[in-house]
Amino acid sequence: MIPIAKPYITEEDARAAYDTILTGWITQGPKVQEFEEKFAAYTGAKYAVAVSNCTTALHLSMIVAGITVGDEVICPSLSYIATANAITYVGGSPIFAEVEPGTYNLDPVDVERRITSKTKAILVVHQIGFPADLDAFQALSIKYNLTIIEDAACAAGSAYKEAKIGSHSDLVCFSFHPRKVISTGDGGMITTSRQDYYERLKMLRQHGMSVNDRIRHESKEVVFEDHVEVGYNYRMTDIQAAIGIKQLEKLDWIVNERRKVARFYNEAFRGLPHIKLPAEQNGQFSNFQSYSIYLKAGYGLKRNELMQLLLDWGIATRRGVMTTHRESAYKRSHKEVVLPISEDMQDNSIILPLYVPMEQEEVIYIAETFCAMIKNPKAFSAKVENF
């Protein structure tokens, strides 16, 4: 079975975790600080704050952006549910907007239509590693005085108009879950160039404490901390950060390898009937966190039937990105929401395996099987009827 994804974790990464454990400093400490400094330098942001995952990064970003009860935040429904959840956590209302056909990313024109006097922010997602049209959202932010928060869970190593994701807005949130391009097991990061955000984020992720453990430990004088506001335990451990530092060193190489596989797929699938391939446009540089294909209307086989067929032939796939407004958690409160493009993208997209390193034979097997299956699924299963 060819899996959908595998984290690229090496001996070197494992050794970094091992060595860190033996230092005796195993939760947030010097390795977290080093990872933050290196991640900020990599993205071109002034500061970075490491946290336990991207969901907690988004939650803290909502707090420092001042989102509160009754505020509206516009976001895509076509995203992992954590995007909308972060808004809900602070009492805000996620206002779901449409994505652009084919790009998986928010449509700035539809976003503008949904702005009201209650709108406080736009939560822009760089879906499956493809940067959203940040220039358009920054223009909306200026026109309507809105905060831009970027959900870059999938976008470490991606770039928009030559600048790395993480450098464009005041709050950009990353994930290091194993399904992402680099991983620390679980883990997250917020980049910002605002010192006030930086200071508050560091405090909030550690119970609202005015002094962190490392500073207390290094001090030659007795230090007493205050808990300045109600905070959270959203710390990253030094064990995770040690892995993250090593992963970050490999990030550009990993992205390059992923792009090679994506290019191979694109070449192999070009010209196939009924499918739309992922394509970079408008200054996008994608890390290809996922390789997602859209099945156009008129293809004889249903998306789920194709997924089953691929599984029967040893290739794991996933459905396209979810639509949050159709999940039970949001269905009742968002009954009136209809997003035909997002719904179509979810229902008719299919994600193929992509990881590093991928054996040449695996890539060739997937490409050949997929091409042959798209053209003639009946040759692969007696169960296929009416094609």
- Supply 284's token pair: 């996008």
The pairing of beta strand 163-164 with beta strand 159-160: antiparallel
Nearest approach in angstroms of CB 227 to ligand PLP is 25
Q: Could you give the string, one character per residue 275-314, with x where binding to ligand PLP holds by CB under 6 A and - elsewhere?
A: ----------------------------------------
**Which CB, 151 or 344, lies closer to ligand PLP?**
151
Buried (b) or exposed (e) across 53-81, using 16+ Cβ within 10 A? bbbbbbbbbbbbbebeeebbbbbbbbbbb
In this complex, which beta carbon is closest to ligand PLP, that of residue 50 or of residue 306? 50
Q: What element of type H or E holds 62?
A: helix 54-64
Q: Does 80 bind ligand PLP (CB under 6 A)?
A: yes
Report the C-alpha gap between 37 and 31 in whole angstroms: 10
Nearest distance in Å: CB 18, ligand PLP: 24
Please report how close the Cβ of residue 92 comes to ligand PLP at its closest, in angstroms: 16
Nearer to ligand PLP, 54 or 201 (CB): 54
CA distance 206 to 33: 14
Find where tokens 């988004």 sit.
Answer: 58
**Count of residues for the chain?**
387
| Strand 284-285 versus strand 291-295 pairing type | unpaired
- 65 SS3 class: coil
Q: Given the rule CB under 6 A, which of 59-67, 75-83, 233-241, 257-265 is the region that contacts ligand PLP?
A: 75-83
Selected range binding ligand PLP among 74-82, 105-113, 160-168, 272-280, rule: CB under 6 A: 74-82
List the one residue from 20, 28, 53, 237 that touches ligand PLP (CB under 6 A): 53
Q: Which residues, other chains included, contact 245 with Cβ-Cβ below 8 Å and sequence gap of 6+?
A: 16, 31, 34, 35, 38
Coil/strand/helix, residue 95: strand
* 183 Rama class: left (phi>0) / alpha (psi -120 to 50) / beta: beta
CB atoms within 10 A of CB 314: 12
- How many angstroms separate the Cα of 26 from the Cα of each of 31, 177, 201, 237? 9, 19, 21, 6
Decide: is 103 part of the binding site for ligand PLP (CB under 6 A): no
In whole angstroms, the minimum distance from the beta carbon of 153 to ligand PLP comes to 3
Binding map of ligand PLP across residues 188-227, x = CB under 6 A, - = no contact: x---------------------------------------
Report, in Å, the least distance between residue 270 CB and ligand PLP: 28
Q: Which of 98, 151, 238, 257 binds ligand PLP (CB under 6 A)?
A: 151
Which of residues 60, 125, 236, 351 is near ligand PLP by CB under 6 A? 125
Which of residues 20 and 105 has its CB atom nearest to ligand PLP in the complex? 105
**In angstroms, what is the minimal distance from the CB of 55 to ligand PLP?**
3
Among 175, 237, 342, 349, binds ligand PLP (CB under 6 A): 175
Determine the residue type at 256. N
How near is the Cβ of 87 to ligand PLP at its closest, in Å? 12
| First vs last C-alpha separation in the chain | 26
Contact residues toward ligand PLP (CB under 6 A) are 53-55, 79-80, 82-83, 125, 151, 153-154, 175, 177, 188
